[in-house]
Amino acid sequence: MVGYIILGAFVLLIAVMLIRTLMFKPNDLGEIEQSKVQVTSKDVAKHLSGAIKYKTISNPDPEKTDWREFDGFRDYLIKTYPKIHKVMEREVISDYSLLYKWAGKNKDKKPLALLSHMDVVPVMPGTEDDWDQGAFSGHIDDKYVWGRGTQDMKGHLIAVCEAVEQLLNKGYQPECDIYLCFGHNEEVVGSAGGGAKAIAKTLEDGGVELGMVIDEGGAAIPGTMFNVPNGDIAVIGISEKGYADIKVTCKKAGGHSSQPPKDNGLVELAKILVRLDKKQMKQRFTYTVKNLFDITGRHMSFGMRFMLSNLWITKPLVLKALSNSPTSNALTRTTITPTMAEGSPAGNILPQTAYVNINSRVLQGQKIEDVKKHIKKCAKDIEIEMELQRGKEPSAVSTIDCEEFEIVKKTVKQIHGNMPVAPYLMVGGTDSCFYENVCDKIFRVGPFKMTKEALGSIHSTNEKIEIDILENGVRFYIQLINNYCDK
């Protein structure tokens, strides 16, 4: 009798799980009419090409930054977009960041802010000749504009300016105020004199409360990147992880390497790193990631749908599977990894002071202090010193249950096609996290449809953008402005 009861309970459990799987089906593919917006400028690619030629490379040390390149780029924007600089108010913030205000007709409607950054990362020394076209050449061929920043993020910035310039040339005035916020040092996280932070503080001091912020982040991408076998999907960042560089130092007696003691400082640090590698911080499903898989999971294979629709029982197995991929692992836990180390100045000298830099990307629900406690716990009986070099806490989370998210979602579908649109956790950082004091609807989504190749070129060799995709990005911003400001 007991055996029959157990068998019956098992059959009932499987039946419930199968029913949940069958009910776990796409529910967000309502047809939306495609945008009819046209790009009138024939010089979009040419304008991006000119922007790429300015080597606006940021550096954590401001003294090592060539500010003449930023001055030149600022003058280039004035020359290239005369209507913007005639109609809109412009303010230079923190010496090099730019804040533009486009006055709207309705002061009761909260403003829209479109963010970009002017700085780019350097080309890795020794890889300059690996580029098919010069990294700062801005070369244009029949299909692409080439160069550092075409994807991250001068392509976005030029698309914004092209969209606004086109609307201004047509005599358009938005219902609400629009701010263009162009930071100058996004690529050096947490550095001194942060442009985005200063722009946001300027808005806050002026009593500005933004209705929506749009920054880089998600995009329309191949569905296979999220185990969606057919077609494309789009992801919109609604939160981003925190960032921390923590210097861990171990001090020991020095001496000659021919008579090494047992407590070499580098060996002690290695023990800590092994412990950190074996004992990672606990995996969790956050609001963002739960909603990401709730939407994308409905478009996956039957087996994946079975697992994701029954997390009440399959959660441990799903988390274990997610931990096997660097990408999905980063979505579900605070990551901790060593990135730099240093010991003695010579090969035959024992290090008196050894250190390792530990980089962490902090998941919502935890703080940098939790990371330091975890490191300390893994150090156990080893005497160390810890110093936070730079960092920022995890961002707030923007809800998807709001009109603003639906506007962004609609815009994505109007420009890129009727595809699943899901919220996403940014594992990297953006400028938008600094705007939380003036806005609670912050969405991170780029205007371009991205291929795997394009995604792989960001911060890498042969960064480039297709001209057609660039022009489609202009259409994206025009449509977004219309959808938000004129609703």
Distance CA 357, CA 88 (A): 44
Residues 209 and 258 in one domain: no
Same domain, 190 and 224: yes
pLDDT over 90 (residue 155): yes
User: pLDDT digits over 401-411, tens only?
Assistant: 999 999 999 99
Average pLDDT score, the chain: 94
Structure-token pair, residue 41: 């400028």
- DSSP 8-state code for residue 462: T
Does residue 8 fall inside a structural domain? no
Instruction: For residue 219, give Cα distances in angstroms to 133, 450, 475.
Output: 26, 7, 15
pLDDT value at 190 more than 60: no
Residues 249 and 217 in one domain: no
- Position 116 scores a pLDDT of 97
Q: Are residues 298 and 175 in the same domain?
A: no
Cα–Cα distances in angstroms (integers) from residue 121 to residues 76, 152, 407, in the given order: 20, 9, 32
Tell whether 320 and 459 lie within a shared domain.
Answer: no
Per-residue pLDDT reduced to its tens digit, 380-392: 989 999 999 988 9
CA distance 140 to 471: 14
Domain with 472, as residue range(s), is: 44-240+395-485
Residue 387: CATH number of its domain: 3.30.70.360
- Structural domain contains residue 284: yes
Residues 252, 150 share a domain: no
Let me know if residue 12 belongs to a domain. Answer: no
Strand ranges in 141-200 using DSSP code E only, listed in sequence order: 144-146, 178-183
In a domain, residue 13? The reply is no
Flag whether 337 is in a domain: yes
Cβ 316 vs Cβ 264: under 8 Å:
no
What is the rounded average pLDDT of the residues 327-354? 93
Q: Residues 82, 92, 76, CA angle at the centre, nearest 5°?
A: 35
pLDDT at position 399 is 97
Q: How many domains does the chain have?
A: 2
Q: Across residues 118-139, what is the average pLDDT?
A: 96
* pLDDT digit string, tens, across residues 231-248: 999 999 999 999 999 999
Tell me, yes or no, whether 137 and 167 share the same domain.
yes
**pLDDT bucket at 284, cuts 50 / 70 / 90:** very high
Task: Establish if 2 belongs to a structural domain.
Answer: no
460 within some domain: yes
Let me know whether 340 and 430 are in one domain.
no
Contact 227, 296 (CB under 8 A): yes
Asked if 234 and 250 sit in the same domain, the reply is no
Task: Read off the pLDDT of each residue in 278-287 and give the average, rounded to a whole number.
Answer: 95
What CATH number is attached to the domain comprising 117? 3.40.630.10
Mark whether 139 and 60 lie in a shared domain.
Answer: yes
Last residue of a domain, one of 339, 359, 392: 392
Structural domain ending residue among the three candidates 392, 417, 438: 392
Q: Does residue 340 share a domain with residue 281?
A: yes
According to the model, what pLDDT value does residue 29 have? 67
Query: Mean pLDDT over residues 427-454, rounded?
Result: 95
Domain boundary among 392, 408, 441: 392
- Do 195 and 287 reside in the same domain of the chain? no
